Structure 1
C-alpha cells in the first residue's frame, strides 16, 4: 500500500515541471487577417492584407468609452501569381499570419477583368480559409479603402467590410454581397448572373469639430457571368434589383403625387414570380411582384388607389431601367433566364446560344406589381386644408 502512495507521489512530482500552455499566445502576439484586397496591374497581382488590432476594440477605460482610434495595419506585396504575392507578403512579416478569421475579400475591376479563377482556386484548396467571408469589388485604391477611419465605430470589424448585413435590416440594398461559398457555387453557372456590390469611401457625410470621417459605402455593382466580368451598374441603375431581392427587409420608395407633392412609402417582403412565355424561336418573360408596404409620410390627402398606382408605376419603371442597363452590358441582371434553365431544360437547350438566352428590349413582356398596405403609420398632412 505504501509503495502505491510513493508511486502516485512520484508521478505528481514529475508532472509539476510540465505546462499545458506551451503553445499559448496572447491576442496581441497574433496577426489575424481581417480583409484581403486583390489588384492586377502591369502583369502582376498585388495583394493588400488588412490586420485589425482586436485588443483595442474592447471598451477599456473607466468611462466605458471606446478608444478614439483603433489601429489598422495594411500589408502590401506583389507577385507574378496570386500565390507568389502571398508568399512575398510572408517574407516581410515578423510573425505568422492567421487566415481563419478572414472576413472579406475585395478585388478591383482590373483584377476582375483579368479573371479571378486563380484566386478562387487557391481559396478552395487552402484549408485554413473558411468559405464564409464576404466578396466585394471596388474601383478605388485598396490602400484608401482599407485605411478608412469611420466616425461612430472606427473598427473595420464592424464596418461594411466586416458586417455588411447589419444595415440591411434598416434600409435594404438592391443586391447583397455573396459569401464565398455562394460565390463559388454561382461563379460558373450558365444561367446565373452574379451581381456583386462595389465599395467606395465617402468623406462628406460625417464629421466632428475637427475633421470629416471616411465611411465605406456601396457604390454600384459589378456584374459577372460564367467567371467573366461584364461591366458595372450604378446605384440608380441597380435600383430595380431591390424589388426582386427575396432578402429585402425594408426599403423606402419616394412617389410624386403632383408637381409639389412627394410622399414616402416603405416597401418590404416581396414575392417574386417569373413566368416564361415560349414562342416558336424565342422566350419572353412575365414578371409578377407582390409587395407589402406602409406609409411613412403623406404630403396632402390622397386616395389610396392613387398612391397604389404611383407605387406600381415607380417600381415598374425602376425594374425596367435595371433590365435595360443590363442589356447594355449584355447581361441578364434580373436572372430571368435562370427559370428556363432550371425548370425547362429542353427549351433551354433549344433556345440558348453560347450558354445564354438571347435577350432584347421585347424579352421582358410585362411587369405586374401588386402592393398591399399593411398599416398607415403616422400620417403627416403638411398642406391639408382645415
Structure 2
C-alpha cells in the first residue's frame, strides 16, 4: 500500500512538472512594446517602390486620455524604397525600434504612378499572403504627396484612427457620393466581368474650409474615382463627371439632390433607399439594357412653396440626366462604369460569351434602351411639405 502511494505521488509530481511550461505565453510581445501600422502608402518612381507606413500613437486612443487633453505626437510616418514592396518594408524593419504589428492596418493609399506600374497587384498579393493583415482594408488613390496625406489629422484633434481614410463608412452614411471599397470587394470586381473596379480618388484641401482660432486645417476629401483595369490605372474621373454613379449604387445610404432647372435652383431633396434593377435585352447580336431606379425622397428646401408634383417631376428628370451623362462619359473613356457587362454575364451567360470583347460587352450611346426613375416623396423633415413661413 505504501509503495502504491509513493507511485501516485511520483506521477502527480511529474504531471505538475510537465504543466509548468504551459503556465504562461512565453513567446508573446507586450502590446505597449509594439509599433502599430495604421495606414500604408505606395508610390513608384525610377523603377522603385516607395513605401510609407503610418504609425499611430496608441496612448491617444483611450477616451479618458483624449478627453483630458492628452498631448503628444498623434501620427508618425516611416518611408523606405526598394525594388519590390517587400524589399522596402524590410528596410523599414531595420530602422524600426520595436516590432511592427500589421493587424491594425486599416487602409492602403496608392499614387497614380504606383497604379500605372501595376502596384495594386503587387500590394494586394503581398497583403493577401501575410497572416496579420485582413481583407477589410480600404483602397484609395491620389496624386497628392503621400507624406502630406498620411500626416493630415482629423478635425478637433481626433485620433487618426477616426480619419476619413480609416473609417469611411462614418461619412458615407451621411453623404453617399463615392462608395468606399475594401480589398475583398476589389478582388471580386477585378475577377468578374467587366474585370474593372473603381476606387475612391482623394485629394488634400488646404484652403480655409476648416479653421481653428489659430490656423486653417488641411482635410481629406473625395475628388472622384480611379478606374482600374488589367491590374493598372485606366483613368481618373473627377466628381463633376460621376454625379449619376451614386444613383446606380445599390448600397447608397443618402445623398442630396440639388435641382438645377430654371425656377427650381432653390429646391433641394434628400434621396435614400435607392433600388436599382438592370435588365439585359438581347435581340440576336444587339444587346441593350433597361434600367429602373426607385428611391424615397425627403424635401429639404422649398422656401418659395413650389408645387410638390412639379418638384418630383424635375427631380426625376435631373436623376435621369445625371445617370445618362455619367454613362456617356464612361463610354467615351471605354469604361463600363455601371458594370452592365456583369448583369448580362449573370442573367444570360451565353449572350455574354457571344458579345464579350476582353471580358466586357461593347457599349455605345444607345446601349441603354430605357431609363425609368420613380421617386416617392415620403415627407419634408418633421412631416412638413409646405414652406415654414407663409
Relative to the length of structure 1, the TM-score reads 0.90
Partners of 1:59 and 1:294 lie apart in 2 by 36
Q: 1:234 to 1:337 in 2, by over 3 A?
A: same
- Is 1:90 aligned to residue 96 of structure 2? no
Match of 1:381 in 2: 387
Point out 4+ residue stretches in structure 1 off by more than 6 angstroms. 1-19
Match of 1:121 in 2: 125
Asked if the contact 1:276/1:339 (under 8 Å) is kept, the reply is: yes
Asked if the contact 1:70/1:154 (under 8 Å) is kept, the reply is: no
Partners of 1:7 and 1:270 lie apart in 2 by 70
Match of 2:300 in 1: 296
Instruction: Give the count of matched residue pairs.
Output: 382
User: 1:70 offset after TM fit, Å?
Assistant: 4.6
Among residues 281, 285, 289, which one is paired with 1:281 in the alignment? 285
How big is each residue's C-alpha offset from its partner over 1:184-209, in whole Å with a ceiling of 9 and x where there is no partner?
Answer: 22223232431110122222211111
Match of 2:74 in 1: 71
Partners of 1:289 and 1:14 lie apart in 2 by 68
**More helix as a share of residues:** 2
- Is 1:80 aligned to residue 83 of structure 2? yes
140-149 vs 89-98, greater mean Cα deviation? 89-98
Relative to the length of structure 2, the TM-score reads 0.89
Q: Secondary structure at the match of 2:135?
A: coil
How big is each residue's C-alpha offset from its partner over 1:298-356, in whole Å with a ceiling of 9 and x where there is no partner?
Answer: 12122222111111111011111211221222100111111111111111111112222
203-212 vs 219-228, greater mean Cα deviation? 219-228
Q: Secondary structure at the match of 1:357?
A: coil
- Is 1:196 aligned to residue 199 of structure 2? yes
Asked if the contact 1:271/1:291 (under 8 Å) is kept, the reply is: yes
Match of 1:307 in 2: 311
User: 1:60 offset after TM fit, Å?
Assistant: 4.0
How big is each residue's C-alpha offset from its partner over 1:125-146, in whole Å with a ceiling of 9 and x where there is no partner?
Answer: 2222211211111111110110
Matches within 5 A, 1:24-173: 25-60=29-64, 64-67=67-70, 70-115=73-118, 116-173=120-177
Partners of 2:42 and 2:355 lie apart in 1 by 37
Partners of 1:18 and 1:311 lie apart in 2 by 68
Asked if the contact 2:116/2:232 (under 8 Å) is kept, the reply is: yes
Report the aligned-residue RMSD.
2.7
Q: 1:226 to 1:129 in 2, by over 3 A?
A: same
- Is 1:184 aligned to residue 178 of structure 2? no
Among residues 315, 327, 340, which one is paired with 2:331 in the alignment? 327
Asked if the contact 2:267/2:301 (under 8 Å) is kept, the reply is: yes
Partners of 1:107 and 1:211 lie apart in 2 by 29
User: 1:290 offset after TM fit, Å?
Assistant: 0.5
User: 1:361 offset after TM fit, Å?
Assistant: 1.2
Match of 1:360 in 2: 364
How big is each residue's C-alpha offset from its partner over 1:245-288, in whole Å with a ceiling of 9 and x where there is no partner?
Answer: 11111111111464475111110011111111223333111111
